[in-house]
A = this chain, B = another copy of it.
Amino acid sequence: MDDQLPPATVSSRRYGVLIQKLRQAGLRPTRQRLALASLLFERGNQHVCAEALYDQAQRAGIRVSVATVYNTLNQFTAAGLLREVVAVPGRFYFDSNLSDHHHFFFEVTGTLEDIPSDRMVLAHLPEPPAGTAVARVDIVVRVQPVKPSPV
């Protein structure tokens, strides 16, 4: 339960890398931002929505409000530390993996999994409409559990 940062720890060694990261992004390394950044960037690729991250934070004993989780996710995204994934209508997902890649979306669980870009190749990208340029290509492969084979 005391997984929480005592004030003195904010500028400690433990968070050195994250502090740099936030500073470089122009964000003040506050206790909440560091704790959330730790959940997002120190555990491999993460796909989260605000609610899920808030829950993780609660479980980790981090005292942070829902509003701050939302604000932080948006600030991190604006700063280029996260990117948005559009997988479900009605919900904002964020991805800590900034490399070029796509996603499996598990329809039953609502979770995402990365597909490295070299495992998914577009043979034929159409010309964008006149006056426009391609900003990004998002591919979502929706998967479902296979139904048990009939006996």
Which positions 103-151 of chain A face chain B at CB distance < 8 Å? 104, 106-107, 113, 115, 119-126, 128-129, 131-146
User: Once the chains bind, are A113 and B92 in contact (CB under 8 Å)?
Assistant: no
Contacts of A146 in B (CB 8 A): 131-133
By secondary structure, the A interface counts as: strand
Q: How large is the interface on A (under 10, 10 to 19, 20 to 34, 35 or more residues)?
A: 35 or more
State A123–B136 Cα separation when bound (angstroms).
18
Q: Does A7 contact B (CB under 8 A)?
A: no
A-B contact pairs, 20 of them (CB 8 A): A84-B89, A89-B93, A90-B90, A104-B132, A119-B124, A120-B124, A120-B126, A121-B123, A122-B139, A126-B141, A128-B141, A128-B143, A129-B143, A131-B146, A132-B146, A133-B143, A134-B142, A136-B141, A137-B142, A138-B138
Binding site for B on A (CB under 8 A): 84, 86-93, 104, 106-107, 113, 115, 119-126, 128-129, 131-146
